[in-house]
């Protein structure tokens, strides 16, 4: 008897691209009517996590607000690759002012809208880790403190990538950057430094803080949607791998983001008014090496004589996150 291959389409899974689900169950990205707020034609690198993260986040925000979003962007990769003179790939009203003032400019936009009674139009401020955790920190804290009606999204690729991969206060320990050399015994970025802006945001007791990752689109869309349903200062920190800066394969962007989550190095959490309200449990915990070894910025930890001590310290950080936020069990 002839064997005939029969294709079965698996319906009912919640994989992100599944269009065989009912419309309400599809991700925004899987929806034919998604806005593509960050349209194609931008100049991001192949495999850019930030381009993914921005499109996911803004499209979700657009759906949540019936397409009434204004975005204020800090200087950085996203701003540069999305608006290469004389083109723009933004389908929404969008403004870029300076490197350090996105949060303040967004506060101003929100104030103007409120005055005009345009409560239907919402404001998103967005920037990379450099523009958020370093130079934009003052304005960010000010916006939080005033509880201005702005959602601030930080796309964290863990260094100043646009200017050539320099260390920021979001750069993880041991990572090599242009300003944290890993030559000879030098360890890359030192241990004992760095800022955890999601925790700092929680300390401001603003209505909503969340961390998200391009590896978990449903979770990211859920968090942005949830944030858009809240008024006041909100903060979402999205982990976005950078193949160029991390020295990873463009095809590995989502895999790396998933490994960061599953190792415990990048916890996915939610908080309201300073209290932890949710976290995504790790299904299959992986050792940090699985994550680190795929990135050339950590290559100096491996090789003929692996830096066992530093890898152990990184593992300890991951384990501490797991314990602190209850990510397993």
Partner 1 sequence: MLKQTEGSRAVAEAIALCRPEVICAYPITPQTHIVEALGEMVKSGELAKCDFINVESEFAALSVAIGASAAGARSYTATSSQGLLFMAEAVYNAAGLGLPIVMTIGNRAIGAPINIWNDHSDSMSMRDAGWIQLHAESNQEALDLHIQAFRLAEELSCPAMVCMDGFILTHAYDRVDIPAQADVDRYLPPFEPRQVLDPAEPVSIGAMVGPEAFTEVRYLAHHKQMQALARIPQLAAEFKTQFGRDSGGLLRTYCTEDAETIVVALGSVNGTVKEVIRALRAEGMRIGSVSLCSFRPFPLAALRAAIGHAQRVVVLEKCLAVGLGGILSDGVRKSLSGIALKGYTVIAGLGGRAITRASLRTLFQDATRDTLEPVTFLDLNTEIVNRELEREKQARRTGPTAESILRQLGTVASRIA
Between 90 and 246, name the residue whose CB sits nearer to partner 1: 90
- Could you tell me the two tokens for 314? 């990184």
The phi and psi torsions of 162 (rounded to 5 degrees) equal -60, -30
Q: Under the criterion CB under 8 A, does residue 107 sit at the interface with partner 1? A: yes
* Binding of partner 1 by 258 (CB under 8 A): no
51: contact with partner 1 by CB under 8 A: no
Q: Which is nearer to partner 1, 38 or 261 (CB)?
A: 38
Instruction: Note whether 179 binds partner 1 by CB under 8 A.
Output: no
CB 121 within 8 A of CB 111: no
86 binds partner 1 (CB under 8 A): yes
**Could you give the CA distance from residue 91 to residue 77 in angstroms, rounded to a whole number?**
18
**Greatest alpha-carbon span in the chain:** 76
Residue holding tokens 């915990």? Answer: 285
Residue 211 main-chain phi, psi, to 5 deg: -110, 145
Query: In this chain, which of 15, 20, 41, 84 binds partner 1, going by CB under 8 A?
Result: 84
Kindly report the three-state secondary structure assignment for every residue of 40-83: CCCCCCCCCHHHHHHHHHHHHHHHHCCCCEEEEECCCHHHHHHC
Q: How far apart are the C-alpha atoms of 208 and 275, rounded to whole Å?
A: 9
The 120-139 site mask, x for binding partner 1 (CB under 8 A), equals -x----------------xx
Question: 271: helix, coil or strand?
Answer: strand
CB distance 103 to 201 below 8 Å: no
Q: How far is the CB of 109 from partner 1 (least distance, A)?
A: 4
Q: Does 101 bind partner 1 (CB under 8 A)?
A: yes
61, 70, 197, 292: which one contacts partner 1 (CB under 8 A)? 70
Residue 280 found at the interface with partner 1 (CB under 8 A): no
Smaller CB separation from partner 1, 149 or 262: 149
From 114-122, 152-160, 203-211, 292-300, span contacting partner 1 (CB under 8 A): 114-122
Three-state secondary structure string covering 169-219: CCCCCCCCECCECCCCCCCCCCCCCCCCHHHHHHHCCCCEEEEEECCCHHH
User: Between 31 and 68, whose beta carbon lies closer to partner 1?
Assistant: 68
108 is a contact residue toward partner 1 (CB under 8 A): yes
| Span interacting with partner 1, options 7-15, 67-75, 157-165, 235-243, rule CB under 8 A | 67-75
Residues that bind partner 1 (CB under 8 A): 67-70, 72-73, 79-80, 83-86, 88, 90-98, 100-101, 104-116, 121, 138-139, 141-142, 145-146
């Amino acid at each position: 008897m002839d064997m005939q291959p029969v294709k079965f389409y698996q319906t009912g899974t919640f994989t992100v691209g599944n269009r065989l689900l009912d419309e309400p169950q599809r991700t925004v990205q899987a929806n034919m009517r998604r806005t593509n707020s960050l349209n194609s034609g931008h100049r991001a690198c192949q495999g850019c996590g930030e381009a993914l993260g921005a499109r996911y986040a803004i499209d979700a925000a657009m759906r949540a607000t019936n397409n009434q979003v204004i975005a204020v962007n800090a200087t950085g990769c996203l701003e540069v690759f999305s608006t290469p003179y004389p083109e723009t790939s933004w389908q929404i009203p969008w403004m870029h002012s300076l490197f350090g003032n996105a949060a303040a400019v967004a506060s101003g936009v929100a104030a103007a809208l409120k005055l005009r009674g345009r409560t239907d139009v919402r404001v998103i401020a967005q920037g990379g880790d450099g523009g958020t955790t370093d130079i934009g920190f003052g304005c960010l804290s000010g916006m939080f403190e005033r509880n201005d009606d702005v959602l601030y999204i930080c796309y964290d690729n863990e260094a100043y990538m646009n200017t050539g991969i320099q260390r920021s206060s979001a750069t993880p320990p041991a990572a090599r950057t242009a300003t944290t050399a890993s030559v000879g015994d030098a360890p890359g970025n030192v241990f004992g430094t760095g800022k955890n802006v999601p925790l700092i945001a929680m300390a401001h007791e603003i209505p909503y803080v969340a961390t998200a990752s391009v590896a978990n689109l449903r979770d990211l869309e859920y968090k942005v949607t949830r944030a858009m349903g809240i008024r006041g200062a909100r903060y979402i920190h999205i982990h976005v791998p950078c193949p160029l800066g991390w020295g990873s394969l463009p095809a590995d962007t989502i895999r790396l983001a998933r490994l960061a989550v599953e190792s415990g190095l990048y916890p996915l959490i939610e908080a309201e008014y300073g209290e932890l309200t949710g976290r995504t449990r790790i299904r299959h915990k992986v050792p940090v090496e699985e994550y680190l070894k795929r990135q050339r910025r950590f290559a100096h930890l491996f090789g003929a004589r692996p830096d066992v001590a530093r890898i152990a310290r990184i593992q300890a950080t991951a384990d501490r996150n797991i314990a602190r936020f209850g990510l397993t069990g």
